[in-house]
Amino acid sequence: MAELLDGKKVSDRILEELKVKLNQSSYKPQLSIILCGDDPASILYTKMKKESGEAIGLKAEIHKLDSTITESEFIKTIEDLNQNSDGIMVQLPLPKHLNTRKIMSFIEPDKDVDGLTETSLRRIVDGDERFASATPKGIIKLLEEYNLSIEGKEITIINRSSIVGKPLALLFLNRGATVTICHSKTKNLLKHTRDADIIVIGVGKPNFLKAEMIKENCVVIDVGTNKTEEGLKGDVDFENVKHKASFITPVPGGVGPVTVAMLLNNIVNKGTKNL
């Protein structure tokens, strides 16, 4: 039976440390969260980030933009926030008429606390992980907190996004792992999953990763969040995989809380000059 990688417990400890750090600092960093549109999930996530930030002593503000906003208006909002915020994050996804990559490029690199700009990605290549993407950074933190070795491991990531898969692969490479990225065009996915010591999956399909797809004692990290009639589910067939894996993240309560904690860690370290 797999041991749970308890993201909530890890997150609570990180947030308590950040709260202490802020209490000892005379400066309270300003986090600006941009929410565009009325997507219920995005509204919920931004609210959670704001509340978590305020709970540790940050100044956090949600800037609500209409879903019909033009790119130039959106960019103007970012440029204004660059002048008076310590950290800026844009809640994704954005409405389809907006060019996400273009918009994100206007965030000043040292204020990109969510680690989603091209500059942040390039920095990871050079080993600078100060503003690595919050989800990949949270996954690494979770493994480290449970003393799970990364160096020399075979790791399969089933996700090639610029938010998770690509930056996470770089973080693993920086720690001496051998990394395979799989996606919708991958042939013989089973070969890659069955060879892996650690699997990270984020495909948006509930119960996609089955027990027969992994080897004994594999570590399984589930980034998926799928709304089903039974509630929130991940991409892993949890009830069956847990009997074969050595460690596994639950959904909810796994990667999600640590992602928020690492976002806030980035802004606290930036704002209190402890990079």
> Cα–Cα distance between 114 and 135 in angstroms, integer?
9
Would you state the pLDDT for residue 271? 61
| Ordered domains of the chain (ranges, CATH) | 28-110 (3.40.50.10860), 134-255 (3.40.50.720)
The tally of CA atoms less than 13 A away on the side-chain side of residue 207 is: 6
What the block records as the tokens of 53 is 């930030």
Catalytic status, residue 235: no
Catalytic status, residue 91: yes
**Active-site residue (options: 6, 114, 197, 222):** 114
**Active-site residue (options: 6, 86, 91, 141):** 91
pLDDT > 70? residue 255: yes
Decide: pTM greater than 0.85: yes
**Active-site residue (options: 49, 111, 233, 270):** 49
CB distance 245 to 198 below 8 Å = no
- How far is CA 52 from each of CA 12, 16, 28, 259, rounded to the nearest angstrom? 10, 11, 14, 12
Q: Which of 29-43, 106-120, 199-213 has the largest mean confidence?
A: 199-213
Q: Model confidence over 27-70: pLDDT tens digits?
A: 889 999 999 999 888 898 899 899 999 999 999 999 999 999 99
Would you state the pLDDT for residue 273? 59
Q: Model confidence over 149-159: pLDDT tens digits?
A: 999 999 999 99
Q: Rounded mean pLDDT of 178-198? A: 96
In sequence order, the 6+-apart residues with CB closer than 8 A to the CB of 158 are 182, 183, 189, 193, 199, 200, 201, 202, 203, 209, 235
pLDDT > 60? residue 121: yes
Catalytic status, residue 49: yes
